[in-house]
A and B are shown apart, each in its own frame.
Chain A
Amino acid sequence: MTFDLIIFVVSAAVAVFGATMMIAQRSPVASVMYMILSLVAQAVCYVQLGAFFLGAILVVVYAGAIMVLFLFVIMLLNLRGNEDMGAPPPVLSQFTKLVFGILLALELAFIVKAAPFSGSTTGIVGAKSDSFGSVKAVAEKMFTDYLYPFELTGVLLLVAVVGAVVIAKKRHLNETGDSAGALQNDAEVKE
């Protein structure tokens, strides 16, 4: 029972636990909390895999930004977790869905088990370099081989931001009831 193994087992267990609890919560805020817990555990796993930079990025971006965004939306919509969701769905259908999920997981596990290198513990190709997983290594790769996707992702982010703004904008209606010229109205109101 090496130290690595213990760390892995604990963090994996926490990750799974967090994920499971997340989907079973009534209150959305609690769900977000559990998600963050799971993410942090996953970050530990990343670090154990030698991905120092990405582990940090995971916590900062994912748990720190995206989950906070979720919290903002929950706050905006004023969700308390006590909304009336209607009648609970029939147990059989819930059970069936659970079964499908488990089946899927089992199948994928089976496939994974058959992968050629799954038994190796460290790596199969060459010796690990000390800078594996460091910022330097990742940056070197990204700005040379993966420059094009990197730039495109930047554009994608821009598009997403603009899109989010446009979608969520409040629309004012004219006397005739449609929203044509709504932006103009906003400008007039401002004056």
Chain B
Amino acid sequence: MADYLFLIPLLPLIGFLINGLLLGRLSKPVIGLVACGSVGFSFLLSLASFFELKGLAPEARQITQTLFSWISADLFNVNMGFLLDPLSAVMILVVTGVGFLIHVYSIGYMGHDKGYGRYFAYLNLFTFAMLTLVLADNFLLLFVGWEGVGLCSYLLIGFWYEKQSATDAGKKAFIVNRIGDFGFLIGMFIIFWNIGSLDFVTVSRMAPEVFVAGGSLITAACLLLFLGATGKSAQIPLYVWLPDAMEGPTPVSALIHAATMVTAGVYMLARTNVLFILAPDALMVVAVIGALTAIFAASIGLTQNDIKRVLAYSTVSQLGYMFLACGVASFTAGIFHLMTHAFFKALLFLGAGSVIHAMSGQQDMRHMGGLKKHLPVTFTTMFVATLAISGIPLFSGFFSKDEILWKAYSSSTNGAWYFWTIGVVAAGLTAFYMFRLIFLTFYGSERMDAETKRHVHESPKTMTVPLMVLTVLSVIGGYVGIPQIFGGTNHFEEWLLPVMSGPSHEVAKHALASAGHSAVEEWSLMFMSVALVAFAIYMAYYFYRKNTAAAASLAGRLSGVKTLLANKYYVDEFYGAVIVRPAVYFSVFLWKIFDVMIIDGTLNGVARLWRDVSDGLRYGQSGQLRSYATIFVAGVVLLIVYFVAG
């Protein structure tokens, strides 16, 4: 397998090249086949490598393949190499598996779009970049993948480039990501400067010896790396691009913003967990930001009317959970939630896409309703996904979210009751707005106009089959991580253990130890969270099914709050005034003053100077014989002096 690792990212790259270069010449079925086929083969290879890894002893689960030496400059050496260990195995399965389903779905969804070939080319390029990111064996190659997915998200968000809002959203995503990337780079520099290598295995091994635990250097490096993660994974303060990114096609939102790209930040944290464990202050910051983002985004999601915006804020909120998990040193719980979230969030997005497809492009939930009987498959699958995201027991989301909540309370690293409280409240809000979405979209009176109503139809098989596959995964996906109190073994945590804190994962075990917390506490906390979720679901049912008038009157009484939430706390406006406008002024200043006046002025001034000088000098050519003779004689006089005196 070590010899074939490189094929996993390479196949989508080949798909991109074929589709991208031969765009006009290939027919639609061929394009779709190439694109889906390449990702499909990557998935099979990922599966094969997973089983091969499983066959090895837990301590030896590390397969590497170094293709070639990429940079070799005396002290700075970076290879183009891939690392397959339990963590990356999980990631490639998620990326290629969910990615494959989304590719198949896109055949139906984008079937009538004139940019069909371009779409699949970008999608393949994205898959390639993401796989490079997760398989990289060193920071720099990971960063290459990091930038690559950033580029592809820009291309895909602004896919319908003739729409002004789409291109603006693409730019916003790229620029905000850039800010995070800057932090990532500085963090990388600090690590390289102190350790002398960017290779993950080397860094993990040497970090405890090189850095002072809890010291300012490692804390700074980790905070900077985390800044990069906030950019890519849409946490406070760099989340503002993700809601706008809904301008792109819905399958793109599913792949990039639910299942894969935004999870790159969580993956990166898990990959560098050795460093973060050495910096508890940084971990605290991670946990705080994760928790705040979770509840902040959930609150905004309550008032959104666009079906995709609700899901976007939901994504931001769920990512907050993952970071909260990392912040309490429970990286395995974070990755677990990453996996289950990939399943049900992708399902939700694809289902929303199916709804939008049926509604001929309508995305506002206020104009939907009663779609349950028109779109039975879509409804069933989305309902299951909603149960999963709300954390209803026995669905996958329950296991992963519960794991996070428990660790947020009990972990010896930063675990505290307030983190748990915030998490539970956010879970309640999540359940509320998700069921609101379901009720508004599928139940109730049909609020769409007659024209749209006539075209409402269930989606074709290429779209519904992936939905069904994802539904199954949303249900059973959690069973790999059943907590001990249920009587099962947490296979997932075991699987990932070798990756945590390097070879000596005793440190990880110690960090995770729920010292002094009993099973009773765990059960009671679990019951409390489930009860709150059930209450929230009932509230949603009350306001949006039984007594819709009450919703309106409540909104009227709390209109101030509602406006604040509906306008996303005015964060975008704040950023615009404080950051964007001064930057624009500065660049205009540089342009008008510096470039035009100073630089151009200098150049033109020099030219003008010489022109004026020559204008003056030309009068020497008077054509007057006597003037010439005079100067001649003067020259002779001087020459004689020179020759006589010299």
Contact = CB atoms under 8 A, between A and B. Distances in A.
Is any CB of A less than 8 Å from a CB of B in the complex? yes
B518 interface: no
B630 A103 contact: no
Contacts of B633: 97, 100-101, 104
A93 B634 CA distance: 13
Interface string A94-108: 001100110110011
A100 B641 contact: no
A2 B276 CA distance: 120
A102 B45 CA distance: 103
A104 B644 contact: no
Contacts of B640: 104, 107-108, 111
A108 to B, nearest CB: 8
B577 interface: no
A117 interface: no
Contacts, number: 23
B637 interface: yes
A3 interface: no
B630 A104 contact: no
B7 interface: no
A21 B630 CA distance: 21
A103 B637 contact: yes
A103 B640 CA distance: 10
Interface string A111-154: 10000000000000000000000000000000000000000000
A161 to B, nearest CB: 26
A114 to B, nearest CB: 9
A70 to B, nearest CB: 19
Nearest to A111: B644
Interface string B607-646: 0000000000000000000100010011011001100100
Interface of A is mostly: helix
B644 A110 contact: yes
A159 to B, nearest CB: 25
Nearest to A107: B640
Interface in A62-117: 93, 96-97, 100-101, 103-104, 107-108, 110-111
Nearest to A104: B637
Contacts of B641: 107
A101 B630 CA distance: 9
A155 to B, nearest CB: 30
A185 B170 CA distance: 90
A97 B637 CA distance: 12
B250 to A, nearest CB: 88
Contacts of A104: 633, 636-637, 640
B637 A107 contact: yes
Interface residues of A, number: 11
A186 B641 CA distance: 57
Contacts of B630: 93, 96-97, 100
Contacts of A96: 630
B622 to A, nearest CB: 12
A110 B637 CA distance: 12
B619 to A, nearest CB: 14
A97 B628 CA distance: 12
Nearest to A97: B630
A108 B644 CA distance: 10
Contacts of A110: 644
Nearest to B630: A97
B472 to A, nearest CB: 105
Contacts of B634: 100
A112 to B, nearest CB: 12
Nearest to B627: A93
A101 B629 CA distance: 11
A89 B636 CA distance: 23
* Residue of A93, A97, A108, A110 ringed by the most chain B CB atoms within 10 A: A97
A93 B622 CA distance: 14
A169 B375 CA distance: 114
A53 B633 CA distance: 34
Interface in A19-41: none
Nearest to B641: A107
A100 B637 contact: yes
A151 B636 CA distance: 33
Contacts of A93: 630
Nearest to A102: B637
Contacts of A108: 640
A93 B637 CA distance: 17
Contacts of A100: 630, 633-634, 637
Nearest to B629: A97
A54 B634 CA distance: 34
A108 B633 CA distance: 13
Nearest to B631: A100
A21 B637 CA distance: 25
Interface string B252-266: 000000000000000
A111 B630 CA distance: 22
Nearest to A108: B640
B354 to A, nearest CB: 94
B625 to A, nearest CB: 13
A107 B641 CA distance: 8
Interface of B: 626, 630, 633-634, 636-637, 640-641, 644
Interface of A: 93, 96-97, 100-101, 103-104, 107-108, 110-111
Given A97-B630, A110-B644, 16 more contacts: A93-B630, A96-B630, A97-B633, A100-B630, A100-B633, A100-B637, A103-B637, A104-B633, A104-B636, A104-B637, A104-B640, A107-B641, A107-B644, A108-B640, A111-B640, A111-B644
23 contacts: A93-B630, A96-B630, A97-B626, A97-B630, A97-B633, A100-B630, A100-B633, A100-B634, A100-B637, A101-B633, A103-B637, A104-B633, A104-B636, A104-B637, A104-B640, A107-B637, A107-B640, A107-B641, A107-B644, A108-B640, A110-B644, A111-B640, A111-B644
Ranked nearest first, the 6 interchain pairs of A and B with the lowest CB-CB distance are A107-B640, A100-B633, A103-B637, A104-B637, A100-B634, A97-B630
